[in-house]
Amino acid sequence: MKKYMGKTLVTILIMGCLLFAGRKGLAGLETANEERYLQKIFPYLLPGSTTFTLEMSVEAAEESQADNGAEVAGGPQTDNGTELAAASSAGEGGETEPVGEEIIPEEGEEAAEEEEIIRFVYRGETGYVICTVTQGYVDEIELLVGVDDSGKVKGLCVYGQHETFGLGAASQTNVPFLQQYLGTSGEAQTGTTVDALTGATVSSKAVTKGVNAAVAYVTGADISSGATSWGG
Amino acid sequence: MKKLTSKLKINETMMLALVMGITLIIMVLLKTFLAAAILIRLNIPNLAGLSLLSLLLTHYLGEKKSSHPVMNLVFAALIFGCLPWLAGLASVKEALWLAGVGGVEYTLISGMFASMTDRMECTIRSRLAPVCSAFVLFMAFQGFGNILL
Sign of the torsion formed by the C-alpha atoms of A172, A176, A181 and A183: positive
The percentage of residues in chain A with a pLDDT greater than 90, rounded to a whole number, is 27
Q: Which of A45-54, A105-114, A203-212, B109-118 has the lowest mean pLDDT?
A: A105-114
* A9-13, A182-186, B66-70: segment of lowest average pLDDT: B66-70
Give the model's pLDDT for residue A64: 54
Put simply, the answer to whether A7 touches B149 (Cβ < 8 Å) is no
Query: What's the confidence (pLDDT) of residue A103?
Result: 36
Residue A70 has pLDDT above 50, yes or no: no
Range name among A55-64, A91-100, A178-187 with the lowest pLDDT average: A91-100
Would residue A225 count as lying in a domain?
no
Question: pLDDT at residue B58 above 70?
Answer: yes
Q: Rounded to the nearest 5 degrees, what angle is found at the Cα of A171, between the Cα atoms of A144 and A187?
A: 65
Shortest alpha-carbon distance between residue B99 and chain A (Å): 14
| 3-state SS, residue A186 | coil
Which chain B residues are closer than 8 Å to A33 by Cβ?
Answer: 32-33, 35
| Residue A126 and residue A184 share a domain | yes
Q: Give the closest-approach CA distance of A223 to chain B in angstroms.
A: 27
Is the ipTM beyond the 0.90 threshold? no
List chain A residues with CB under 8 Å of B29: 22, 26
Q: Do A23 and B87 count as a contact with CB atoms less than 8 A apart?
A: yes
On whether residue A34 sits in a domain, the answer given is: yes
Residue A137's nearest CA partner among B149, B37, B131, B89 is B149
Instruction: Looking at the structure, tell me whether residues A149 and A37 fall in a common domain.
Output: no
Residues A15 and A76 in one domain: no
Residues A60 and A150 in one domain: yes
Domain identity same for A105 and A208: yes
Residue A208 lies in a domain: yes
**Claim to verify: residue A81 and residue A145 sit in the same structural domain:** yes
| CA B8 to each of CA A137, A139, A168, B63: distance values in angstroms, whole numbers, following the listed order | 45, 40, 45, 9
pLDDT at A1: 66
Evaluate whether residue A232 is within a structural domain. Answer: no
* Angle in degrees, CA B7, A10, B105, rounded to 5: 95
Q: Is the pLDDT of residue A45 over 80?
A: yes
The residue range of the domain holding A39 is: 1-44
Q: CB–CB of B41 and A29 under 8 A?
A: no
Whether residues A181 and A165 fall in one domain: yes
Same domain, A112 and A139: yes
Tell whether A226 is covered by a domain: no
pLDDT of residue B146: 66
CA distances from A153 to A9, A139, A186, B17, B114 (A): 53, 24, 8, 47, 56
pTM (two decimals): 0.74
User: Starting from the edge strand earliest in sequence, which strands make up the sheet with A53-56, in order?
Assistant: A53-56, A118-123, A127-135, A140-148, A153-160
Q: Do A32 and A145 lie in a common domain?
A: no
| Cβ within 8 Å, pair A38-B35 | yes
Task: Suggest the residue from A1, A3, A5, A8 to mutate for an interface test with chain B (most B CBs closer than 10 A).
Answer: A8
Q: Is the pLDDT of residue B23 over 90?
A: yes
Is A229 a domain residue? no
* Domain count for chain A: 2
Inter-chain residue contact B41 with A36, CB threshold 8 Å: no
pLDDT in tens, A198-225: 888 999 999 999 999 999 988 876 655 4
